[in-house]
Structure 1
Amino acid sequence: MPRQPRLELPGVPQHVTQRGVNRCAIFLDDEDRHHYRRVLREACRRHGVCVHAFVLMDNHVHLLLSAVQRGVISQALRRAGQAYVQAFNLRHGRCGTLWQGRFKSSLVDSDAYALRVIRYIELNPVRAAMVERPDHYRWSSVHTHLGTAQDPLLTPHPVYLALAADRAGCAAAWHRWLNAPLDPEEVARIRAYMAQERALGEPRFQAMVEKALGQPASLRPRGRPPLRRPNGSAAGS
């Protein structure tokens, strides 16, 4: 069965994740991480893609991206991914694929969910028990959002900039937001929408996506649909 086209809309952020094949490491040291950031920044600049949040884990990456044209996010990530794999294989004396198929992506409702996804991304190292606090992890956008760095890879999303009147206020608000209790259902919801590559947001947002793209945007129910009898009733009901 052919794959459905990605859900992409101009200006609407996409939560993207890409993993190493068989969950293998895609970064062996800091030089690898530096190089990935360089090729990602170059590719995103070339294709007009903004990076709003990121985290580089050992065997996968999470990104929040947006663009004003459909299709350019895929082009940018393809360019960055190919350049990175070539350099990684040459440096580490290996050959073959590094990525586990194509990246996964989920559209994100900017108004209600973008901040939640950014927090989800930056808390990844904490959930993985790699660090106690997100700012203890070097390879993420958290330091720019907390005002302790200014990463040239990053373009803060408008919803982050709307947290306060100036960047210092945004940083303080973000510090409070990161330290607020995280609802496990929120984490599960973000993961579910990524797994099915649907549109994370309110029903009104999902309806807009479905109307614009002619594709389903909400989660599919788990399991197979019930068999129907000729009279229309469900078998076993």
Structure 2
Amino acid sequence: MPRQPRLIIPGLPHHIVQRGHNRQQVFQDDRDFQYYLSNLEEWKQALGLTVYSYCLMTNHVHLVVGVTDETATIPEFMKRLAGRQTRFTNQRRKRSGLIWEGRYKTSPIDSDAYLLGCCRYVELNPVKAGLVDEAERYPWSSYPARIGREISDWLDEPSAFTALADTPARRIACYRSFVSDTAESPADSVIREAIATNRVTGSAEVE
């Protein structure tokens, strides 16, 4: 059976998931996480992407990125991130071979409501996995920077986040309330199904 092609729609933000090869652990210590994030910052700037949200779990990553009108930008971005992390990991551990699955998954996001929902979904991953009891306690996601607990000069703010309130403090309060409700929402199942099947995340079909 032929593999389902990735769906990339120019101009829309995309939810991206890449897993370790055979679901193996990719990030084993702080240096692994830090190296990936430094490359995420570098390549987002070099390729003109926006990064709205991220979460690095031990054996997979979630990214929510905005792209230009170039459909090749996401493949180039992911190639650079994966390639550098593979070389870094293999050199550190004196090994060779793959550390990532051959194909990452993508899901274009067709509305601001689902964009903010995707950010929440991504940043709640460590809570859902039982690693922490609050999203802000996990150091390898965008959530601490989003709520002002950490300083980031490269994380981008979705327009849907800006629209939450008229001041930064109120926006943070609204978003914290949104994320602190960890109960499964109808949007969560839409997001999960869309990324699993490389389809659009949202309520409308995008041609």
Q: Secondary structure at the match of 2:75?
A: helix
Does residue 128 of the first structure (1) align with residue 110 of the second (2)? no
Q: Percent identity, please.
A: 37
Aligned to 2:45: 45
Q: Does structure 1 conserve the Cα–Cα contact (< 8 Å) formed by 2:108 and 2:201?
A: yes
Aligned to 2:140: 139
Q: Secondary structure at the match of 1:200?
A: coil
The alpha-carbon deviation at position 181 of structure 1 amounts to 5.0
Q: Give the partner amino acid of 2:117.
A: R
Q: Pairwise mapping of residues 1-237 of structure 1 onto structure 2 (< 5 A)?
A: 1-69=1-69, 70-180=71-181, 182-203=183-204, 206=205, 209-210=206-207
The alpha-carbon deviation at position 44 of structure 1 amounts to 1.5
Unmatched segments (≥5 aa) in structure 1: 211-237
Aligned length, in residue pairs? 206
Q: Give the TM-score, by structure 2 length.
A: 0.93
Q: Give the partner amino acid of 2:82.
A: G
Please give the alpha-carbon distance, in whole angstroms, between the structure 2 residues aligned to 1:185 and 1:102.
27
Please give the alpha-carbon distance, in whole angstroms, between the structure 2 residues aligned to 1:46 and 1:120.
27
Q: Give the partner amino acid of 1:177.
A: F
Please give the alpha-carbon distance, in whole angstroms, between the structure 2 residues aligned to 1:93 and 1:49.
33
Q: Give the partner amino acid of 1:36.
A: Y
Q: Give the partner amino acid of 1:113.
A: Y
Please give the alpha-carbon distance, in whole angstroms, between the structure 2 residues aligned to 1:58 and 1:49.
24
The alpha-carbon deviation at position 28 of structure 1 amounts to 0.6
Larger of the two Rg values belongs to structure:
1
Q: Secondary structure at the match of 2:98?
A: coil
Please give the alpha-carbon distance, in whole angstroms, between the structure 2 residues aligned to 1:71 and 1:121.
24
Of stretches 55-64 and 171-180 in structure 1, the one that deviates more from structure 2 is: 171-180
Of stretches 45-54 and 163-172 in structure 1, the one that deviates more from structure 2 is: 163-172
Q: Give the TM-score, by structure 1 length.
A: 0.82
Q: Give the partner amino acid of 2:137.
A: H
The alpha-carbon deviation at position 19 of structure 1 amounts to 0.4
Unmatched segments (≥5 aa) in structure 2: none
Please give the alpha-carbon distance, in whole angstroms, between the structure 2 residues aligned to 1:181 and 1:30.
26
The alpha-carbon deviation at position 157 of structure 1 amounts to 1.1
The alpha-carbon deviation at position 81 of structure 1 amounts to 1.0
Q: 1:130 to 1:181 in 2, by over 3 A?
A: closer
